Structures are given as structure tokens and as C-alpha cells.
Chain A
Amino acid sequence: MYQYIARRLALTIPVVFGVSIIVFGIIRLIPGDPARAMAGVNATPQFIEQVRVRYALDQPLPVQYGRFIVGFMQGDLGNSVFSGRPVTTEIGERFPRTMLLAVIALVIATMIGVSAGIVSATRRNSVFDNASMFIALVGVAAPVFWMALMLQLLFAVQLRLLPATGIGTIQHLVLPSITLGTASAALMARITRSSMLDVLRQDFITTARSKGLHERVIVYKHALKNALIPVVTVLGLQFGILLGGAVLTETVFAWPGVGRLLVDAILRRDYPVVQGTVMLLALLFVMINLVVDIIYAFLDPRIHYQSGSGE
């Protein structure tokens, strides 16, 4: 197992390396100039030239890439072209906020999604099943910004129960995390349900039932553990998506997270910030996938991670 983890960690190096080349290249392929984005229509040619020199944008691409990757390995992501502050500081301030939002959204999504999925599966075709699957469908389909605005109008403007925007208190977390968690909850409910139905149809469940086991034991001990494997995969992926994809939620609720930082940076062609943020998100995604794979082993003893077998 440890060998496996070490090997997986070693594998992240080429992945991150590949990501670095892609992100470095793509942001430079988009037309636009950081200096012009910064000073707008008023930019003088002298100023634009100065910014190019200051951020080494006048250097050949391989040199720029070399600087970036050497800096990255030393933990230095450069300075933001827009604010002039170190990229590590920019990300460091915002990342915990996005993390908080993503974790809470995921907890809400898992609690609601998995329990609704289990109930739906065990009471298949009941009113609850149909209703919750319909809601789940709406939840998956509803655009995030629409959902966000509707929640704001209802809970902030009409009922005056919750703040509409900003950060600071637990109340500020409620609407954004529900918005962010809804689609994940809906997806998880549907996956849990179908996975649970598959498992409940299998022979060992029939055997367990014929042994006269409690239905509760069957559902939670025998069926759930097996049914959770696809759910865990989705959960891991969703977490990655929530971390990197909270842009709309962060924008509508003025939540100063890493998603908004990234989008603003792309619009401003703030190369160092884009590079740093994408690298961080890529690293996290790789790590989350690793953790998901390890959790598999606990959920399903048939999966072994010794070299040569079971992969």
C-alpha cells in the first residue's frame, strides 16, 4: 500500500509538469496583453514596454517557462501583474475561503444526496422516490447563477433571514454553500440510488435476506458499503469541481475565493496568477484522486494495490 502511494505520488510529477506546459501555453495563446489590460485605453507605449520588461514578457517563451518552473519548484510563483503582490499571497488569502465553501457544500451534498438516494432505492417507485428524483433532476439542470439569484431574492430580499453577499459570519455561508452543493447533492442522490438498486438485486443480498437478517443490517452493512464505491468516485471528482468551479457562486455572492481570482486573472491576462492558481488546482485534483483510490481499498477488500496485481 505504501509502495503504491509512493508510486502514485511520483506519478504526479509528470502530470503536474504536463499541466504546467499546457497552462503556460494556453494563457499566452489568447490574444491580449497584460500591460494593456492593466492600464486600459490610456496605456502609453512606453508603459507597455516597461511592463513587458518588468515581467520578463519580452523574453523568449522557453526562457519565460524556465523561470516559471524554476520559481514554482522553489515555491515562488512570481508577482501578479495586476496588483504587484506575490501570487502565493494572493492564493493563500483566498484559498481557505474556497476550501471552506467547498467542504461545507460537499458535506451538505453528501448528507442530503446519499440519504435521499438510499431512501429512494429502498422505497423504489414510492412517492418519495419519484419526488426526490424529480427534485434531483431539477437540481442537476438548474443553472447555478439562477439558483443563486432565486435564493438571494427569497431569503435575503423577501424574508430578510440571511445576508445576500459577503463573508464574515456563519450566516454568510448558508446561501453560497447551498447553491454550490445543490447540483452535487442531486447528482449524488441519483448515483446512490442506481448503485444501491444494482447491489440490492444481487445474490448475496437475497442470501442475506433468506438468512433472516435485519433489513437495516442488509441495507447499511451489506448493500451500502458496496453501493458506495461509485459514490466515492463521484464525491472525489465533485470535490475537485467544487474547488475549481465555484466561480459563478463566488461571483453572485461576492465570495472572495480562488475561483473569482482565477477568472479575473484570465480576463486581465495576469499570467502569473493564472499559472499559479491552475497549478494549485491541478495538484489538488491529483491528490484527491489518490485519496479516492485509497478509500476504495477500504470499501472493497477485493481491490489490492500491490504491484503487479489487482490494478
Chain B
Amino acid sequence: MQKMSTQTNLARFVLLVTVAILASMLVACGPAADTAVERDTLTIAIGAEPESLDPVRMTSAPAATVGEHVVERLIYMEEDGTLTPMLATSWEANEDSTVWQFEIRQGVTFHDGEPLNAEAVAINLSRFVNPDVGAAYAFLLGSVREIEAVGEYTLQLTLAQPFAPILSHLSHSFIGIVSPNQLQGLSPEQTFEIPVGTGPYVMDRWSRGDSIRLSVNEDYYGSTPQIPNLVFNFIPEESARIVALETGEADAIMAVPPADVDRLQGDPNIDVVFQTAVRTIYISFNNIREPFTNPLVRRALNHAVDKQGIVDSIFEGVGFVADAPIPDAVFGHTSVGPYAFDPDLARELLAEAGYPDGFSMTLHHPTGRYPLDSTVAQAVQSMLADVGINATLETREWTSYLQFTSQPPDQAEYDAFMLGWGTVTLDADYGLFALLHTRQWNPNGNNRGFYSNERVDELLDAARVETDPARRAPMYHEAVQLIWDDAPWIYLYNAGQINAVRTNVGGLIHHPLENLSAWDAYFR
């Protein structure tokens, strides 16, 4: 009898604990389910936290996405690549395009009340290129030799030599203009956490690891956004991001995995948005290593890979087979491909090159860096096997992969490696020069496959300084054709991006630069 009562007490205790937990869950019932009632806040879930919102420390797309709402730059790049005035209302260059004058927008104030003028812009740009500050993207303005406010609202940039893409470089999200008050007294190494810009939203709070909160800038010079509050939540786990959208905790999410598209499309409250991106995924050969010194071999491998099959079956049709080394949204693109998927032709080319029985090679690839990168590498491996090439896969985690593929020519220990490149300025210079110019061989630049073609070098050099688009475009067209025929890479695909939005939200801008912008958003 005593024994029984002891146990009943204990059992009761356990029960009590369970009930307590359940009760606390039920208490939660109200707020969790009713978040949809308050419609003054738009919540966007992104996969990674910005490293910083100080322009000189920014390096990632998430930082650009959040930062754009708060800090503006001189020129804005529209979704179609058109450059439109932002903080600069107009610009003109001297005859040889080495001196540029920008008229700065008048009547604009920073969020702290400080007025915008040419001096404020000059202070920002000078900081961005200051070697002591060490901005990761300072190279964007590498051609700029002098920055000067020559009038209250006139800014002058002097270039060391003509640099055609200077305007698109100035439109880069990382070249933001913040209040000079914020920079006053900052040593070169110092940075700030909460940027004070001129943008449509003001940054209120950064809860590290969790979220960034913005509220509308009532004094915005353009049209004031309709939604008063904006929250960016950082949810690294893909499935958790989807759950957050399904429950309404998030109104929009970025980077939906292709495999979950069906699940989201089945939900009547959710729209799945497909948008192009400017990231090209390719497998580069080590062009100075046998047998990849032979263009026949390189072309053969291009014919051996079923690019459309990869896009269709691995990415559920989201993305485009590459028809040039740069995506088609980029200035200077011309469609020269793709290499037809033709294993027989591949075998013939291999035989012609002296490898009738194929050969063995190592294919290096990162994991978890690009969507489904390992899966793509495996698919390529099996396609190469079909034409007699025995490719061994070598997988590396991203940071060590980067290190591994950044060796000088005499130390590079790879046959071929998979990589992606975003041409974020939508200008061919950014997508071709750093990757394919001979002077950019590792370790001087990012030509990790040691491709070299004198004519291509000439064209890329000439197109850099030629400022007339009508003359530039044909130069790039010729270069693209040469690069295509040389086949220093296996051209794979241009990645697409998949976002998802709840159907009651409209007006979001899904930018090809992988930014999601909410200043025109509204609730239906």
C-alpha cells in the first residue's frame, strides 16, 4: 500500500511536468497563429547573416540584400542591367573618359539629418579605396586615382586610364554612401555596426544571429514604402526556412531548394518565384596539364556532358544551359553554344587526340557551396565514364577548396575543378578578365585554370579602355567566341534562383543579382 502511494506520487509528478509543458505550448497558441493579423511588418527569411553592413566590410549577397534598403549608392542597376540615377542624378566624362563628373542629388538627407553633398560622397569613396581600410572589394574602384568634390554637388573621379565598366562598378551594392558623421573619428581599422544611409528604410536593430529590423524612412526623397516595418530573419537551415514560410512566420524566403518546389507549389497561400541569376557554374581544366593542353580533349569533354539533363533532372528545370562563358544578362554576351550533348562525337574527338580508350583524371569539387554541387559532380562523373574517361571525384569543404584551387601554376595539383562566378556588375569585363586573362593566372588573379590566348588578352585589354558600347560589344563577342572554341572549361549552366512568397504579399523585387528588395512591397 505504501509502495503504491510512492509510485502514484511520482507518476503524478511526471504527469504534472508533462502537463506544464503542454500548457505552455497551448499558451503559445494565440500569438503564433495570429501573426497574420498585424500587417505592418514584412518578414523575409534569408539563409545567412550579413558579415557586416559597413560597405568596406561587406562581401556577401545577404549583406547586399539587407544593406540596399538602408544605404544607397550613386547609380542603381535595374533588373535588366540598365543603370539609372540613384544618389547621382547625371554623369559625364571628358573626351578620353579619364575624368568623370557626377551631379549629386540635392535635398537628400541621411537618416541622422546630415545633408548629402559631393563632399560626403568623396569621404565615403576615399574610405572605400583606402589601402589601410582594406575593403575586400576595393578592386572595383581600382582604376580610380583621385576622388574630389569640385562643387557643392559635383563629384569628380579621375581614372589612371580609361575604364569602361566604371559606371556599373559604381552601381555595386557594396559601394554605399553613409553619413559622414558616422565616419568621423573612425580609424582605418574601425567599422560601424548600424549604417546611417539615405535609403527608404532606417536600420533600427541588429540582433546578432537572429534578425535585423528596419523601419520606414518618412523623409525618403523617393516614394515612401508602404510597409512600415521590415524584418530580415536569418534561418540557415533550408527546411526550417520553408517551415517558417508555411506557418506565416516569414512572408518571403530566399534560396528554396529545387526538391522542395513541388511541396510549396501545392500550398495555395504560397507563390514560388523563379528568377535568373548571373552565376555561371563551370568545370575548369588545368589548361597547362596533360592531356588538357589539347583543345580536342577539352572539346570532347564538353560534348560528353548532358547539360540539359543536369538542369532538368537535378535542378527541376530551374537554370539555363550555358551558351557562353558569361550569362546572357551580361553586357558583351553573345550566344555561341552550347556544345551539343553527343557522346559519339566526344569519343571520336578523343580518338583523334590520341586517347581512343579514354584516360583517368581527378575532378575536384566543393560541397555545400553551390546548390547541389556534389550531385552535379557525380552526374558529370558518370557522363564522362560513358565516353571512357575514368574521373575520380575529390570533395572538399569550401574554405579548404578555395585554398586548394588558388595555387601558382607550378604547384597546382589538379586536373579539373568545379567553380562558380557571379558577374555581378552585369559587364563582361567582370566575368571574363579576372577568370581568363593571362595576367590573372594564380596567384596574381583568379585565372585558376591557367588559360591563355593572346588574342583574347588583347581583346579584353582593349575592351576595358574602350568606352563606346557600340565598339566594345563586338570585341567581347569575338573574345567570347574564341574562349568558347578553346574550351578551357566544361561549360555547365547558369544557375537560377528560387524564392517563395506568401500570396498576400506583392511588389517584391527579385533581382538577378540575388537581392530581394522590399521598398515597393505591399500587402494585398
Contacts and interface: CB of A to CB of B under 8 A. Distances in A.
Interface of A: 30-33, 36-47, 50-51, 54, 82-85, 90, 93-94, 97, 108, 111-112, 115-116, 118-119, 122-123, 128, 149, 152-153, 155-157, 160-167, 169-171, 174, 178, 214-216, 219-220, 251-254, 256-257, 260-261, 267-269
Given A162-B28, A170-B27, A174-B25, 15 more contacts: A36-B406, A42-B446, A122-B7, A152-B239, A152-B243, A157-B246, A157-B247, A164-B249, A165-B45, A165-B243, A165-B244, A169-B31, A170-B28, A220-B6, A268-B399
Interface in B394-434: 397-400, 402-404, 406, 419-421, 434
B100 interface: no
Given A39-B136, A112-B14, A50 B31 contact: no
B51 A83 contact: yes
B149 interface: no
B400 A32 contact: yes
Contacts of A51: 134
A163 to B, nearest CB: 5
Contacts of A30: 400
A85 B208 CA distance: 11
B247 A164 contact: yes
Interface stretch (B229-237, B381-389, B454-462, B509-517): B229-237
Contact of A156 (B9, B207, B247): B247
Given A50-B131, A54-B134, A260 B236 contact: yes
A93 B208 contact: yes
B250 to A, nearest CB: 8
Nearest to B17: A111
Interface string B1-39: 011011101110110011001001111110111000000
24 contacts: A32-B400, A37-B399, A38-B59, A40-B59, A43-B136, A47-B136, A84-B52, A108-B17, A119-B14, A122-B6, A149-B239, A160-B29, A160-B33, A162-B28, A165-B45, A165-B240, A165-B244, A166-B211, A215-B3, A216-B6, A254-B236, A254-B237, A267-B398, A267-B399
B359 interface: no
B191 A166 contact: no
Interface in B326-385: none
Contacts of B139: 44, 46-47
Contacts of A157: 243, 246-247
Given A44-B445, A149-B239, A261 B209 contact: yes
A253 B210 contact: no
A33 B405 CA distance: 12
A54 B13 CA distance: 58
Q: Is the interface of A mostly helix, strand, loop or mixed?
A: helix
Contact of A269 (B210, B399, B419): B399
Contacts, number: 199
A167 B10 CA distance: 33
Nearest to A107: B17
A187 B231 CA distance: 40
Contacts of B60: 40
A90 B138 CA distance: 26
A170 B31 CA distance: 11
A156 B243 contact: yes
Nearest to B396: A31
Interface centre among B6, B13, B419 (most CB of A within 10 A): B6
A171 B247 contact: no
A94 B208 CA distance: 8
Given A163-B32, A256-B208, A219 B399 contact: no
B390 to A, nearest CB: 26
A252 B237 contact: yes
B43 to A, nearest CB: 10
B7 A123 contact: yes
A251 B27 CA distance: 25
